Amino acid sequence: MTKQEFYQTINERELGLGEILKTSAGIFFENLQTWLLLSLIVFLPTGIVLQYLMLQIPVEEIVKAYMSADLEQLRQVNWNPVWIFFGATLAFNLINVIASLAASTYTDHWLRDDLPSFGGLFRETIRKWPRGILIVIWQMLMCLGIVVMAVLSVGFFLLPGMLLVLAISILYQYAVVATAVHGHKGFSAYGYAFEICRRRIGKSLTLVLIMMVINALFSSVLTSITSSFIVLENRTLLYCVVLGLINVIANLTTFLLSIGATLHLLNLEYLSGPHPTDTPAAPEVREIPNTIDIP
């Protein structure tokens, strides 16, 4: 199916899951070098830093303290590396959103048959980045609120809370599309994404879950490869760089997920009629004659 044929299809009927997955894979592999370069720019620096911070965590000391069930021993553990690692992970999520924004932006250009150069795509993505940061912050705040509710309810809200966190993580993917393609920002991006996706909520959830399973399987394979590099652990910098490069490959599926989410959301948009933020056309103004003919 050519781009023109696909564009006509996406405007005329609802695409099946198989069609979305197949087209997403086609766009992904067709531009693999673009995603690889973006992954190097976004995920390599953050991956190296996170791996280094992870090595600073006193894992054996923490495990011993927990196994002993001694509160005094737990208090004596140096928890600073744990909090630093946790804070860095949250902060780097603000950077990692660049990858999803880039994939959604590229897919929108692909549908319009107006492919940008890599430099053009990167510059356009960076311009959208501040709005993408707001999307991540809102996701963190909503998940934090759910965690607080679960703690205050003494576990009664645990299972519903876990399901809500999963739902927010899935909605996040579509909110990024709303930001990249239509310029929504903050909570309005989540509201818009929910308004579009709720018409086909089951399919919207299933698509992202399938992509998440693909990502999990791919990551598990790479994790098994990572264990073979444990011999480099004494050479800290080299070890972190190697694991950072593996992190680059593992995160390639991020682009595939964003491409699929973009195709699905835009397909539902086209079928639902004019975009909700579109300004209606102004009514035609007729010229009023200066004179009136009297019969």
pLDDT digits (tens, 9 = 90+) for 42-76: 999 998 998 888 888 877 777 777 777 666 776 77
Choice among 11-15, 82-86, 136-140 with the minimum mean pLDDT: 11-15
**Token pair in block for residue 38:** 């973006």
pLDDT at 246: 86
**Cα separations in angstroms, 147 against 60, 110, 152, 162, 165:** 27, 39, 9, 9, 9
pLDDT at 40: 94
pLDDT at 221: 82
Q: Is 273 left (phi over 0), alpha (psi -120 to 50) or beta?
A: left
Alpha-carbon distance of 185 to 159, in angstroms, equals 30
For residues 18-22, give the mean pLDDT: 90
Query: Which of 77-86, 158-167, 204-213, 225-234 is most confident?
Result: 204-213
pLDDT at 295: 40
| Residue 85 CA, distance from chain mean position | 21
pLDDT at 274: 53
Which one, of 283, 285, 259, lies nearest residue 101 by Cα? 259
pLDDT at 101: 96
186 class by beta-carbon count within 10 Å (0-12 exposed, 13-18 middle, 19+ buried): middle
Alpha-carbon distance of 38 to 122, in angstroms, equals 8
Place of tokens 């299809």: 9
What is the pLDDT confidence band of residue 285, given thresholds at 50, 70 and 90? very low
Alpha-carbon distance of 235 to 223, in angstroms, equals 19
For residues 202-221, give the mean pLDDT: 88
pLDDT tens digits, one per residue of 237-270? 887 888 888 888 888 989 999 999 999 999 988 8
pLDDT above 50 (res 29): yes
What is the pLDDT confidence band of residue 277, given thresholds at 50, 70 and 90? very low
In the chain, count of helices (H) and strands (E)?
12, 0
pLDDT at 112: 83
pLDDT at 4: 67
**Token pair in block for residue 289:** 């004659």
pLDDT above 80 (res 150): no
146 class by beta-carbon count within 10 Å (0-12 exposed, 13-18 middle, 19+ buried): buried
Please give the full DSSP string across 174-186, using - where no structure is assigned: HHHHHHHHH---T
Scored b (16 or more CB within 10 A) or e, 109-145 reads bbbeeeebeeeebbebbeebbebbbbbbebbeebbee
pLDDT at 294: 41
pTM of this structure? 0.82
Which one, of 132, 110, 102, lies nearest residue 34 by Cα? 102
Query: Which of 51-65, 201-215, 223-237 is most confident?
Result: 201-215
Angle at CA 251, nearest 5°, toward 87 and 249? Answer: 125
Query: How much of the chain is helix, strand and coil, in % rounded to 5?
Result: 80, 0, 20
pLDDT above 50 (res 286): no
For residues 129-152, give the mean pLDDT: 87
What mean pLDDT, rounded, does the chain reach?
82
Higher-pLDDT residue of 265, 219:
265
For residues 86-100, give the mean pLDDT: 91
For residues 100-120, give the mean pLDDT: 91
